[in-house]
Amino acid sequence: MPESRRAGASIPLVWLATVVLVTLNLRPFLTAIGPLAPTIQAHTGMDVQAIAWLTLLPMALIGAGTWAAPAVLRGLGARPALALALLLIALGCALRLLPGWLVATAALCGAGVALVQGLLPGLIKLHTPRHVAPMMGVYSAAMMGGGALGAQLSPLALQWGMDWRGTLALWGVPALAALALAWWQLGRMATPQAAARPSGSAWLLRRPRTWYLMLTFGLMNGGYASMVAWLAPYYQQLGMSAAYSGMLVAVLSVAQAAMALLLPVLAARSHSHDRRPWMAFTLAQQVLGFVLLALVPLSAPVLIVTILGFGLGGCFTFFMLVALDHLRQPLQAGALSALMQSGGFLLAAAAPWAMAQLYQWQGSFAFGWWLQAAIAVLVGVLALRFDPARFESVLRPPPG
């Protein structure tokens, strides 16, 4: 029996491992930068604005590239498209060994991540249709777990004697491992031709709900982008070491992964498709975390970043589920998810730059954390419109 059909009864372990290994590669190239920022600045002369570009540019390209993911899927098919995405990530990491390529490599990695994030949610819904919520929890948890590895291991590699360029390039190795596994696994999974190259998604851009999802998702992810870019430099400014600040970014990512894995399971047990109470819970955690980060950052740093990790990780997962909930056809839902991420990450990319501007004006990151708390409140208000009873009416596919 084809594996895609068996997936409705159980989750194939090799497919689960493929999703985990692929997704682990989506954040280390970003989270490694913050803890190494002072070292990079010392060796390159880059200022705060230039360092911000190492987060801003890939986030923007994640947005722009995710927009193109459905077209790449139609043109190449799932297997070559995913292989291309992982090859771009591996190449981007490897080229960080070369002087003067740092910003360009951030762009390459961002483009690769964009394709993965645009392709994988739809493939998850296609191959494990009865396990979308837990699989998206695994997807989100693996993504955040990869972020934790990048933040924790990169400063440790410096302590162990590796130079900063080699440390950043090291993250190309797991991308090549993921490429090999994904190529083998997708080659043996039965994917209907119609699903492998789905119809166009231009009609989604004519629906106001698509743009609303982009806006809310982007506002929410600005908090994550700001944390990845400036949490470690913030604590180093307060007197913490690079290793300790990197540990805090790792704690943030582990907390994100834990909540991304746990909350969808709890939500599934509630037998309700209304994600809004869970989104409100995670956004309240974000508000509390950002306020504590601005007011009392040194009182309990691990607790503060854990609260923020819970809020950011859980909210990301529920946004992904809300996008997939809107449409029944798997790769139509995947296309909507891709568009939500594309516009959302383009918007989120501005957050680290805005934080850098506020830092230059105020001499502190505290005002930026207050801004992120206010944005989390705004997202909570906007998310009230995600009533599952209205999904079919607000995003009805065209006939045929």
* 77-102 residue pLDDT tens: 888 989 999 999 999 999 988 877 88
Tokens of 288: 């509390």
Return the higher-pLDDT residue of 31 and 316: 316
Return the higher-pLDDT residue of 201 and 106: 106
**Distance in angstroms (rounded) separating the CA atoms of residues 23 and 141:** 9
Mean pLDDT is lowest, of 88-92, 152-156, 196-200, 315-319, for 196-200
pLDDT of residue 191: 56
pTM, rounded to two decimals: 0.73
Residue 119, pLDDT above cutoff 60: yes
The answer to whether 53 touches 41, Cβ cutoff 8 Å, is no
pLDDT of residue 212: 94
Quick check: is 194 in a domain?
Answer: yes
pLDDT of residue 63: 74
pLDDT of residue 36: 80
Residue 354, pLDDT above cutoff 80: yes
Q: What is the pLDDT averaged over residues 270-294?
A: 90
How many distinct structural domains can be found in the chain? 1
Residue 171, pLDDT above cutoff 70: yes
Quick check: is 259 in a domain?
Answer: yes
Quick check: is 69 in a domain?
Answer: yes
Q: What is the pLDDT averaged over residues 310-319?
A: 90
Of the pLDDT bands very low, low, confident and very high (cuts 50, 70, 90), residue 350 is confident
**CATH code of residue 169:** 1.20.1250.20
Mean pLDDT is lowest, of 15-19, 66-70, 192-196, 295-299, for 192-196
Q: What is the pLDDT averaged over residues 180-200?
A: 67
Quick check: is 400 in a domain?
Answer: no
Q: What is the pLDDT averaged over residues 95-114?
A: 85
Quick check: is 265 in a domain?
Answer: yes
Of the pLDDT bands very low, low, confident and very high (cuts 50, 70, 90), residue 8 is very low
Residue 291, pLDDT above cutoff 90: yes
Of the pLDDT bands very low, low, confident and very high (cuts 50, 70, 90), residue 2 is very low
Return the higher-pLDDT residue of 382 and 390: 382
Q: What is the pLDDT averaged over residues 231-254?
A: 86
Return the higher-pLDDT residue of 112 and 12: 112
Residue 193, pLDDT above cutoff 60: no
Domain with 181, as residue range(s), is 3-393
Return the higher-pLDDT residue of 220 and 329: 220
Q: What is the pLDDT averaged over residues 186-212?
A: 70
pLDDT of residue 246: 79
Quick check: is 152 in a domain?
Answer: yes
Residue 4, pLDDT above cutoff 50: no
Closest CA to 339 of 228, 191, 207: 207
Residue 393, pLDDT above cutoff 50: yes
Quick check: is 382 in a domain?
Answer: yes
pLDDT of residue 399: 67
Q: What is the pLDDT averaged over residues 278-303?
A: 95
Quick check: is 155 in a domain?
Answer: yes
Return the higher-pLDDT residue of 394 and 178: 178
pLDDT of residue 296: 94
pLDDT of residue 52: 74
